[in-house]
Chains A and B, each alone.
Chain A
């Protein structure tokens, strides 16, 4: 049931409204929270929600049951996730047939369905709630605190957990300078990758001449494997809006933009709904909460170009021009969007602001390391057991993220490297796993914090191939404006391509390093300047592997086609003849029920035999 919405004229009215919302929430006996984050939705969670709705309608129970869709819980590996209140019982990998049982046993009966609980593979212990799961235990959630708890399409839900109280505090009890001072005390650094101190940017923009001023939320997340900002926009859009409104008040801006890629339809939808609701309640628009401060936000959808995550390219795109960066000798806080003072921060940065205003800069600064404060959201993906979204305090070691939270490498294989920082980042090997996650520490290792992509790689990963992959991505995403990026990346990729095809030459590594230095020194924007990082970091830590490719024409991870051989294990081969029939070049011979053989002179190493063999008798050597 919805409560009559009204325009909240001042903070008192907001608190009164909040009290009404909370009272209504208190009357609900049972709540079923179904995750509709993109990961769970892809596994059919929207249908689960419908089934819970049907079950509630059919049951005719006389207690009030609320089914709600919530944002990403982070444990995407185990989706779809359904949580039942009271008790916060955490069900994972829920399928359609499970709904009836959950409804009957847990919602109505108050009993736990054991088989749907998460069971720790090491200890065999079943976890009833999130807190019992190792994946969540080492995490500390500020930005993601309400994800999975609230319906992202309900401003009432956000208000019920104390939402917009930071805005009310900022507008009534704080001067703009005070807010900036608080953010400064917190030591908040930009979460988009650069790690620039947010307060310094805000102050520069506040002090810049020119009017109007703009604030922008950069939601153009585009690193391969990254979905941090997406999940925040999808799961808790009001936290982003609240942060932006507070920031705009501190900076002295009346117009904001959220730039979000069109490939994030759910984020766009939830942000649209949130903006509409905030306007309706008077939290956006003229004279917000009677403070005399006015601010509004528009959503602009981007076409999905990676380079548009770069601030000047993003602003060009917002202006309706091609998304190409320009020199930043004159900062965007002075001359940004439409040549006016503009403050741009990333989604996660904005989402941290309400908590800082509410709990104080000192509290925030108490988390993390000397120069990196607070928490950081990472999307933990790759060859790791628990893939998903994790929020950890700065200063936690990579090892704890990979092993404790991530549960180690999949399939019991050996860990090889973790890639952080997206395409501009680098690969960190096992010997540096005890490094603390911190802006400066990661940069020191030749990688970077970036926006929070974290890809775990196992022993079967070829590092030359990884470097080639990222460079290929950047070649596709380079805008082509400046010479070094457009030509230099293509030249580097050409060399890597040769190496992975067994045509590497002596001196190739030197050539790569020369090009990397050239890109770093002369490219126009950060995309080009940092594009060589994946290559440099893999050469730095896996030089031997490059040399094996170049000198011995061998790919030790057996990934690069042509740099390893396929052989038939005579013991395992049953002589079924499937490989022989499927070999496109007739390189396999052998009698029926006898071990077969591959003629290496004919074999093109296409790998068809390996795929087709039902007995795993084909070996890569």
Chain B
């Protein structure tokens, strides 16, 4: 197993694990935005730049996808690495100036603000990290959203920017969005959930007992399909909110005991 020395802390890691894995193990913090353990790393945001020793020179690499194959010296808090990450953050702040999450991360990185004006506005407050797209494809299996356009014109969008039939309104994209740009909005008047800004809407499944909203109906449908569990009682319980389901199960259990 190769040994990684991160800012002086030596640890052994599995070969092919990433610098980020090693840093987690060593307890060294490296900021990330486009990284998520549930999906592949693409190293698009470049906020996790660190320096590695190449013998006679040092190279800036992205921690999230640099594979460790031999003993490596990593410098997370060298001046050059810190400056590189801050520089990337300044560019992102210019792109998404209103994101609370981004400002918090910037503060943690000692970035006070950005010297740059906002010159790219293809999509408001989106840093185009692509996590939402990868989650939708790799974790959910729907591919309801993707990148459209190129370069500074790039956006995350549904096909033709219309409500997507493939979107099951699961909200995974909103859950992973590191800058809070994707939002789940409830519309109580129609009992619908909307994934903003993608304009897709779905009816919510309502608990048959108490009327609480549980989950988007397409998600429930997909889960039932995947489970393929042919037990009428299970299907009935799936239409209940977690609290009512627990009550029903408990009742059934006590009943069984009495019988």
Residues of chain A whose beta carbon lies under 8 Å from any beta carbon of chain B: 305, 322, 326-327, 329-330, 475-484, 486-491, 494, 511, 514, 518, 521-524
- Which listed residue, B43, B84, B94, B151, touches A524 by the CB 8 Å rule? B43
Q: Is the CB of A487 within 8 A of B117?
A: no
Q: Mark B108-139, 1 if CB is under 8 A from A, else 0.
A: 00000001110110000001101000000000
- Bound Cα distance A494, B62 (Å): 27
Given A487-B94, A522-B60, A523-B46, also A480-B128 (CB < 8 A) = yes
Whether A483 lies near B45 (C-beta < 8 A) is yes
The answer to whether A479 touches B49 (Cβ under 8 A) is: no
Interface centre among B49, B65, B67, B150 (most CB of A within 10 A): B150
Beta-carbon nearest neighbor of A476 in chain B: B151
Query: Given contacts A480-B128, A521-B84, is CB(A330)–CB(B44) below 8 Å?
Result: no
- In contact, B84 and A480 (Cβ under 8 angstroms): no
A221 to chain B: closest CB distance in Å? 19
Check if B152 sits within 8 Å of A480, measured CB to CB: yes
Chain A CB within 8 A of B153 CB: yes
Cα-based distance from A475 to B149 in the complex (angstroms): 13
Asked whether A487 lies within 8 Å of B95 as measured between CB atoms, the reply is yes
Contact A522–B88 (Cβ < 8 Å): yes
Pick from B46, B65, B116 the residue with the most CB of A within 10 Å.
B46
B88 touches A480 (CB 8 A): no
Q: Name the B residues within 8 Å of A476 (CB-CB).
A: 151
Query: How far is it, in angstroms, between the C-alpha of A488 and the C-alpha of B149 when the chains are bound?
Result: 18
B246 within 8 A of A: no
Q: Is the CB of B152 within 8 A of A482?
A: no
Closest partner residue, chain B, to A477 (CB atom): B151
Please determine whether B43 and A522 come into contact, CB atoms closer than 8 angstroms: no
B91→A487 contact, CB < 8 A: yes
Contact of A327 among B47, B65, B84 (CB under 8 A): B65
Minimal Cβ-Cβ distance residue in B for A487: B91
In the bound assembly, the distance between CA atoms of A305 and B150 in angstroms comes to 10
A322 touching B147 by the CB < 8 A rule?
A: yes
B153 touches A480 (CB 8 A): yes
Q: A478-B151, A487-B95, A490-B120 given; name 13 further pairs at CB < 8 Å.
A: A327-B43, A329-B65, A475-B151, A479-B151, A480-B154, A486-B120, A487-B152, A490-B119, A490-B152, A491-B119, A521-B49, A523-B46, A524-B43
Q: Do residues A481 and B42 form an inter-chain contact, with CB atoms below 8 A? A: yes
The answer on a CB contact under 8 Å between A484 and B91 is yes
Tell me the smallest distance from the CB of B82 to a CB of chain A, in Å: 12
- Residues 46-82 (chain B) with a chain A CB within 8 angstroms: 46-47, 49, 60-62, 65-67, 80
Chain B nearest CB, measured from A525 CB (Å): 11
Cα-based distance from A393 to B171 in the complex (angstroms): 61
A486 in contact with B128 (CB, 8 Å): yes
> What are 30 A-B contacts with C-beta separation under 8 Å?
A327-B65, A329-B61, A329-B67, A477-B151, A479-B151, A479-B154, A480-B153, A482-B46, A483-B46, A483-B47, A484-B46, A484-B87, A486-B120, A486-B151, A486-B152, A486-B154, A487-B92, A487-B152, A489-B152, A490-B119, A490-B152, A491-B94, A491-B116, A511-B115, A518-B84, A518-B87, A521-B84, A522-B49, A522-B60, A523-B46
Closest-CB distance, B162 to chain A (whole angstroms): 20
Q: Which of A480, A491, A521, A524 is within 8 Å of B150, CB to CB?
A: A480
Is B152 within 8 A of A478, CB to CB?
Answer: yes
Cβ contacts under 8 Å, B115 to chain A: 511
Selected from A326, A489, A521, the residue in CB contact (under 8 A) with B42 is A326
Shortest CB-to-CB span from A472 to chain B, Å, is: 11
Measured CB to CB, the nearest residue on chain B to A517 is: B87
Q: Are B60 and A480 in contact (CB under 8 A)?
A: no
Cα–Cα, bound, A483→B45 (Å): 5
Chain A proximity mask over B11-55: 1 for CB below 8 Å, otherwise 0:
000000000000000000000000000000011111101000000
* Residue from the list B80, B87, B152 in contact with A475, Cβ < 8 A: B152
Q: How large is the interface on B (under 10, 10 to 19, 20 to 34, 35 or more residues)?
A: 35 or more
Query: Assuming A327-B62, A475-B151, A491-B91, is B80 touching A521 (CB within 8 A)?
Result: yes
CA distance in complex: A57, B20 (Å): 75
Q: Which residue of B lies closest to A523 (CB)?
A: B46
Among B46, B67, B119, contact of A522 (Cβ-Cβ < 8 Å): B46
Q: How far is the CA of A491 from the CA of B88 in the complex (A)?
A: 12
Question: Do the beta carbons of A514 and B120 come within 8 Å of each other?
Answer: no
Mark out the residues of chain B between 167 and 219 whose CB falls within 8 Å of any chain A CB in the assembled complex.
Answer: none
Q: Is the CB of A478 within 8 A of B150?
A: yes
Give the Cβ gap from B251 to chain A, nearest Cβ, in Å: 53
Chain B residues in 8 Å Cβ range of A480:
128, 147, 149-154
Nearest Cβ on chain A to B171's Cβ, whole angstroms: 25
Distance between Cα atoms of A202 and B72 in the complex (Å)? 27
Contact A488 B91 (CB under 8 A): yes
List the A residue with the shortest CB-CB distance to B45: A483
A61 to B84 Cα, complex, angstroms: 75
A326 to B43, alpha carbons, bound, how many Å? 8
- Top 3 A-B pairs, shortest CB-CB distance: A480-B154, A487-B91, A478-B151
A477–B154 CA distance with the chains assembled, in angstroms: 12
In the complex the two chains form, what is the Cα distance from A327 to B34 in whole Å? 14
Known contacts A487-B92, A522-B87: does B117 contact A482 (CB below 8 Å)? Answer: no
A489 partner residues in chain B, CB cutoff 8 A: 152
A521 to B84 CA separation, bound complex (whole angstroms): 7
How far is A305 from B149 in the complex, measured between Cα atoms in Å? 12
Instruction: Give the CA-CA distance A487 to B45 in the complex, in Å.
Output: 11
Does A494 contact B119, Cβ atoms closer than 8 Å? Answer: yes
**Shortest Cβ distance from B81 into A: residue:** A521
Docked pose: A322 CA to B91 CA in angstroms: 24
Min C-beta distance of B108 to chain A, whole Å: 18
User: Contact: B120 with A487, CB < 8 Å?
Assistant: yes
Report Cα–Cα, A338/B67, bound state, in Å: 19
- What's the Cα separation between A580 and B217 when bound, in Å? 72
Inter-chain contacts of A522 with B (CB < 8 A):
46, 49, 60, 84, 87-88
B77 to chain A minimum Cβ distance, whole angstroms, is 16
Q: 0/1 per residue, B137-160, Cβ < 8 Å to A?
A: 000000000010111111000000
Cα distance, A329 to B84, chains bound together (Å): 19
A122 to chain B, nearest CB (A): 46
Q: In chain B, what residue has the closest Cβ to A305?
A: B150
CA distance A489 to B119 in the complex (A): 10
- Measured between alpha carbons, how far is A396 from B222 in the docked complex, in Å? 68
CA distance A523 to B62 in the complex (A): 10
> In the assembled complex, which residues on chain B have CB atoms less than 8 Å from the CB atom of A479?
150-151, 154
- Chain A residues closer than 8 Å to B66, beta-carbon distance: 327, 329
Query: Are B84 and A481 in touch, CB under 8 angstroms?
Result: no
B4 CB → nearest A CB, Å:
15
For A327, the chain B residues whose CB sits under 8 A away are 43, 62, 65-66
Q: Are B92's CB and A483's CB within 8 A?
A: yes
Q: Is the CB of A524 within 8 A of B88?
A: no
CB contacts (< 8 Å) of A478 on chain B: these are 150-152
Q: How far is the CB of A236 from chain B (nearest CB, A)?
A: 34
**Least Cβ distance of B96 to chain A in Å?**
10
In whole Å, how far is A298's beta carbon from the nearest beta carbon of chain B?
26
Beta-carbon nearest neighbor of B47 in chain A: A483
Q: A322-B147, A521-B49 are in contact. Are A483 and B127 (CB under 8 A)?
A: yes
Bitwise interface map of B from 78 to 106 toward A, beta carbon under 8 Å scored 1, else 0: 00100010011001101100000000000
A219 to chain B, nearest CB (A): 21
How far apart are the CA atoms of A478 and B128 in the complex, in Å?
Answer: 14
CB distance from B155 to the nearest CB of A (A): 9
Q: Chain A: which residue is nearest B117 at the CB level?
A: A494
